[in-house]
Structure 1
């Protein structure tokens, strides 16, 4: 089954903006990253300036997974 995203904004968001859009706290996001629940390069990555970015398309897929 192909995922159809409903997200219409930027593909990659900084953690604070992601938190504002989803309701997760920045701390909860960091915990998902640090625990390995969200794989690097798929749901999140470091931008060239070292800041963590969240991929909204892959996040939606994660939310809808079993």
Structure 2
């Protein structure tokens, strides 16, 4: 399955649910690349998008302005 819930993504990725939510909130993972909102409003994680991000093939977006890409990476390592 391409899309999974945050809890399933946490099981498969090793990131905590909190870390995943933080990546979404901070704009490290972007909508329609690493996650999307289902018609019922639930957030679903695109495992292929996360894999592409992890391989460094896409630069993280910093739309929120809360963190730079380099500080997000160092903070993500601690999560």
TM-score by length of 2: 0.69
> In the TM superposition, what whole-angstrom CA distance separates every residue of 1:2-30 from its partner, at most 9, and x where no partner exists?
xxxxxxxx100100000011111000000
The alpha carbon displacement at 1:31 in A equals 0.2
Structure 2 Cα separation of the partners of residues 22 and 58 of structure 1: 12
TM-score by length of 1: 0.82
Structure 1 gaps, min length 5: 1-9
Q: Look up the match of 1:3.
A: none
Runs of 4+ aligned residues of structure 1 deviating over 3 Å after TM superposition are: none
Q: Which residues of 2 match residues 1-66 of structure 1 at below 5 A?
A: 10-65=1-56
Structure 2 gaps, min length 5: 58-79
Alignment: residue pair count: 57
